Amino acid sequence: MIGLASASGDGRASEIAGSELLEAAKAVLDANWVGRSTVPSRDLYPHQWSWDSAFVAIGRSWYDQERAQAELESLFAGQWSDGRVPHIVFNPDVPADAYFPGPTFWRSSDVPDSPVRLETSGLVQPPLHAWAVLEVHDRASDPSAARAFLERMYPKLVAWHRYLLEHRDPERIGLAAILHPWESGLDNSPAWEDALRHIDIPAGLLPAYERRDLVNADPADRPTDAAYDRFVYLADAYRGGRYDDGRICRMSPFVIVGPLVNALLIRSSLALAAIAELLGDDPEPHRGAASAIRHAMKEHLWDPQHARYYSPNLKRGQLMREASILSFMPLLDPGLSAQGVQAIVRDLSAPCFHPPEAAQHYLVPSYDLTGELFDPRRYWRGPVWINTDWLVWRGLLQHGQVDLAAHVADSTIELVRRSGFREYFDPFSGAGYGSGDFAWTAALVIDVIERGRP
């Protein structure tokens, strides 16, 4: 179904190639395992990242249940008492300056809500965790250990969703907002350009800092210094306000409600409902939450003029109309209307994301190939990323769009075969950029191959 066979033309040859890729992917995950969790990459990201760990757990669950569970449990060991799951849990054995901003920047232990024995960031990342927990559970071979895992995770996941809907919804519209581009997971996307452009950093309010990312990466691949200044300024302001969401929502110029976070919140709320049922708890509140978010997304994110989901900037009271891969994420909602599915499939098949077959290209570029801000190699401004490919693929499959889903899966596999387990890829040439041996690339290739088996 996913077209692995069509890539080589010979069923058996592709099966062998598929199993070699599978073994290579497992080797990447094993090399990035650091005892209780997996680093996204050994050089650029030496700690534990929130949504990376969820992707990794999904991939690992096909062959290593113990590590898949440990991955998610070690992330939630960093959960704050207000329910937030931090976007980074720092490894105390790694030097403080190995990544910027590191633990001495965030200073989470100064805040009473933070965990006692761990240093973390104060931001969050997209809420894919309940979905990941359910997927891990569903592939377990030991039912009692799997049930115990669900029992431990369920209250933590409930608290996490409650945090997002209670602390991150300043205008009470029933949707969760992000307060920093790093919270989007697609940090440098042109989707945030309009909001960042309107941020003037007041003199003296940008702390002195040194970028670490450029030590291990080509500056042409990474966000610019101007973008980084804004990232650091926003993060510093949040920390200065002691991570008080009410206060930061009032003061910050960056309060954005996006389709990825909220579509994942729907998907994960439905996973929570399934977990509740397995544990004999009431699933209805979680189903109710999912349908309320669905309606609120239609009301606040849907642009009838372009028939597309966009991200409103609550601070400027307007939709930011950039055509990025974020607009396809409502596919993750199994209850998305037929009109919504059709509109997304139309956009995904249009030349700005999927040029005619004659032109060599790979799916799915992170940003409009014809857009003014398109860049084939810079972070989130055009390259293909395997995690967003995977999200779109799972979304297409659940809406019965098997042909387009197969194109996406073929691209994923071809990119990795061509350039290795890189962090991201040029949508035209397929060249790999960013880190090598990148964990979620490996993990999600495992899911694509395993799910595609007859």
CB 39 within 8 A of CB 48: yes
Closest CB to ligand 9WN among residues 330, 434: 434
Asked if 62 interacts with ligand 9WN (CB under 6 A), we say no
Query: Catalytic positions, please?
Result: 187, 423
Asked if 229 interacts with ligand 9WN (CB under 6 A), we say no
Size of the site for ligand 9WN (CB under 6 A): 10
**Four-residue CA torsion sign, 358, 361, 363, 366:** negative
Enumerate residues 68-127 that contact ligand 9WN by CB under 6 A: 87
Q: H helices of 301-368, where? A: 338-349
**Which range in 25-33, 48-56, 168-176, 196-204 contacts ligand 9WN by CB under 6 A?**
48-56
Asked if 236 interacts with ligand 9WN (CB under 6 A), we say no
Binding-site member from 170, 185, 258, 427 for ligand 9WN (CB under 6 A): 185
Binding-site member from 2, 3, 49, 449 for ligand 9WN (CB under 6 A): 49
Asked if 228 interacts with ligand 9WN (CB under 6 A), we say no
Asked if 281 interacts with ligand 9WN (CB under 6 A), we say no
Binding-site member from 213, 236, 281, 414 for ligand 9WN (CB under 6 A): 213
Asked if 362 interacts with ligand 9WN (CB under 6 A), we say no
The DSSP symbol for 38 reads B
Backbone phi, psi, residue 230, to 5°: -70, -40
Residue 136, token pair as written in the block: 């891990």
What CA–CA distance (Å, rounded) separates 259 from 261? 6
Q: What's the min distance (Å) between Cβ of 3 and ligand 9WN?
A: 27
Q: What's the min distance (Å) between Cβ of 254 and ligand 9WN?
A: 15
Q: What's the min distance (Å) between Cβ of 97 and ligand 9WN?
A: 14
Q: What's the min distance (Å) between Cβ of 182 and ligand 9WN?
A: 4
Asked if 43 interacts with ligand 9WN (CB under 6 A), we say no
What CA–CA distance (Å, rounded) separates 150 from 156? 10
Peptide bond into 402 cis (omega under 30): no
Asked if 187 interacts with ligand 9WN (CB under 6 A), we say yes
Closest CB to ligand 9WN among residues 90, 149: 90
Peptide bond into 364 cis (omega under 30): yes
Asked if 183 interacts with ligand 9WN (CB under 6 A), we say no
Asked if 192 interacts with ligand 9WN (CB under 6 A), we say no
Max Cα separation, the chain?
Answer: 64
**Which range in 44-52, 89-97, 149-157, 340-348 contacts ligand 9WN by CB under 6 A?**
44-52
Binding-site member from 28, 29, 33, 52 for ligand 9WN (CB under 6 A): 52
Closest CB to ligand 9WN among residues 49, 149: 49
Q: How far is CA 378 from CA 183, 329, 402, in A?
A: 18, 21, 30
> Position 120: which residue type?
T
**Four-residue CA torsion sign, 357, 362, 365, 370:** negative
List CB contacts of 61: < 8 A, sequence separation 6 or more.
Answer: 68, 135, 136, 139, 140
Q: What's the min distance (Å) between Cβ of 131 and ligand 9WN?
A: 16
In this structure, how many other beta carbons lie within 10 angstroms of the beta carbon of residue 381? Answer: 21
Q: H helices of 77-142, where? A: 103-106, 129-138
Q: What is the DSSP string of 349-374?
A: HSTTTS--TTS---S-BSB-TTSTT-
CB 383 within 8 A of CB 376: yes
Asked if 45 interacts with ligand 9WN (CB under 6 A), we say yes
What CA–CA distance (Å, rounded) separates 344 from 327? 8
Closest CB to ligand 9WN among residues 294, 381: 381
Asked if 149 interacts with ligand 9WN (CB under 6 A), we say no
Q: List residues near ligand 9WN by CB under 6 A.
A: 40, 45, 49, 51-52, 87, 182, 185, 187, 213
